[in-house]
A and B are shown apart, each in its own frame.
Chain A
Amino acid sequence: MTITDFLFFAFAGATIMAALGVVSSKNPVHSALFLVLTFFSASAIWLMLEAEFLAITLVLVYVGAVMVLFLFVVMMLDINIAKMREGFVSYLPVGALFAFMMLAVMVYVVGPVGPDVMGTAALDNAVKHGPEYSNTEALGEILYTDYVLAFEIAAVILLVAIIAAISLTLRRRPATKYQTPANQIKVKRNDRLKIIKSDAEVLK
Chain B
Amino acid sequence: MFEAEVNPEDITSAEFVVAIPSYNEADSIAFPVQQADRGIESFFGNRKSVIINCDNNSDDGTKEIFLGIRTNTPKIYISTEPGMKGKGRNFKNLFQKIVDLEAKAVVVVDADLKSITPKWIKHLGEPLFQDFGYVAPLYVRHKYDGTITNSIAYPLTRSLYGRRVRQPIGGDFGFRGELAQVYLESDTWSEAVANFGIDIWMTTLAMNENVPICQAFMGRPKIHRAKDPGSDLGPMFRQVVGTIFEMMIKFCPFWSQVKWSKPTSIFGFGLGETEMPPPVKVNKETLFQKFQHGFKSCGHILENVLQKETFNKLREVKKMDADRFDFPTNLWINVLIDFAVGYRDKVWKEDELLDSLIPIYLGKTLSFVKKTERMSIRESEEFIEEECVQFEVSKSLLVQVWNKGA
Whether A associates with B in a native complex is no
By a beta-carbon cutoff of 8 Å, the part of chain B in contact with chain A is none
